[in-house]
Amino acid sequence: MSLRAVITGLGIISPLGVTKDKFWEALVRGKSGVRPISRFDASGFKTRIAAEVLDFDPEAYMDKKEARRMDRCTQFAVAAARLALEDAGLAPGQADPDRVGVVLGCGIGGIETFEEQVGILKTRGPDRVSPFFVPMMISNMAAGYIAIIHKFYGPNSTVVTACASSNHAIGEALRLIQRDEADVVLSGGSEAAIVPSAIAGFCSMKAMSTRNEEPERACRPFDATRDGFVIGEGAVILVLEKLEHALARGARIYAEVAGYGQSCDAYHITAPDPDGSGAAKAMARALKDAGLKPEEVSYINAHGTSTPLNDKVETMAIKKVFGEFAHRIPVSSTKSMTGHLLGAAGGIEAAASVLSIVHGVVPPTINYEHPDPECDLDYVPNKARTVRVDVALSNGLGFGGHNATLVFKRYVK
């Protein structure tokens, strides 16, 4: 029998607030983190809204000089890791550093640095490009920095599978513990892509909402009037720990990471397989891995992007796996409040799923006002719901056809 992995710490840097408590309180209230873009002048863009992290000061978590050598994406991850370790009560010396790993998800990486330095190259020439350009830009640097700062010598990697990145990362962290390759793994994801080039690219794809005059109402997963996703930013780090290790140090346990399943649509570079079979396979495989039946699931945190195709196809996929029971499971998209954190989406949604187990509350899908006949499940519209959550399932579906599903369950000795 494989070893069990539990979650003992949560570190959250989000558009709904910094820290776990601020994030959860806003989520349960149904508060939107979407606002007009403030990080640059977006007046010439078709989409001028995003879910930005507003109350983040990197110097609260790291040295000023150190922060200047990190992209915003890495700053978020380093800060979230500090919060997660504090939340887990995991002080230096409480774990063998050779058996502490870091596995993060990141879809794009240091795109702000990339954009800035390419601008310098074009206007001021190659000699003015920063020597830190490459290490600030590359997607794996967040995981590397966390290990360098805390002297973690265990397995260390970064998963890049677009919007499924963090789901895959947490799943791979689970496997490291199950294979007894680590006692503790920091996992989750980070993203900071609210920059002109990324916004322009998504606008050209016609993938984002243009409901600019009412930003808080723009992200409306499963609603018939949905018109695209809203980009977000932030980082979430979960401390996964081998059960025996957590018990030996008297750690508080939030929940157990019970299962992980993945698949590929092998269909299109951006569009999901229209019959939902890829997402359905990931969910079915995750449940099988967890040794659970579909009717044992209490809550589904959907990928729920607020795009016409995703929401319809994900609904179909849930029906394929859960059959008639699909209509009795609360399904919500917390992206309606956080926006879409791209490669970090799976991390923030894992945190929401775990906290739903802890608090017995399912967060809502806000802005759900116009039922779509092709999206006919219980999306927990507009208000959080008190529900005993014993098993939560969280989906991540990414460009390239990447699908990854995680299963969390209430910890039982």
Q: Report the 10 Å Cβ neighbour count for 196.
A: 17
Q: Annotated catalytic, 370?
A: no
Tell me the C-alpha to C-alpha distance, in Å, between residue 412 and each of 6, 8, 136, 183, 390: 11, 14, 42, 19, 10
For residue 143, which phi and psi values (nearest 5 degrees)? -65, -40
Angle at 333 between CA 330 and CA 337, to 5 degrees: 130
Q: Annotated catalytic, 303?
A: yes
pLDDT 10s digit of each residue in the chain, 413 long? 579 999 999 999 999 999 999 999 999 999 999 999 999 999 999 999 999 999 899 999 999 999 999 999 999 999 999 999 999 999 998 999 999 999 999 999 999 999 999 999 999 999 999 999 999 999 999 999 999 999 999 999 999 999 999 999 999 999 999 999 999 999 999 999 999 999 999 999 999 999 999 999 999 999 999 999 999 999 999 999 999 999 999 999 999 999 999 999 999 999 999 999 999 999 999 999 999 999 999 999 999 999 999 999 999 999 999 999 999 999 999 999 999 999 999 999 999 999 999 999 999 999 999 999 999 999 999 999 999 999 999 999 999 999 999 999 999 98
Catalytic annotation, pick one of 163, 168, 219, 402: 163
DSSP output for 169-191: HHHHHHHHHHTTS-SEEEEEEEE
Q: Which of 204, 201, 203, 222 is nearest to 212 (CA)?
A: 203
Catalytic annotation, pick one of 73, 303, 375, 402: 303
Catalytic annotation, pick one of 168, 245, 340, 402: 340
For residue 251, which phi and psi values (nearest 5 degrees)? -75, 150
Contact partners, residue 342, CB within 8 Å, separation at least 6? 107, 108, 162, 163, 165, 191, 193, 231, 232
Cα separation, 184 vs 166, whole angstroms:
17
Q: Annotated catalytic, 163?
A: yes
Cα separation, 78 vs 18, whole angstroms:
13
Could you tell me how far CA 109 lies from the centroid of its own chain? 14
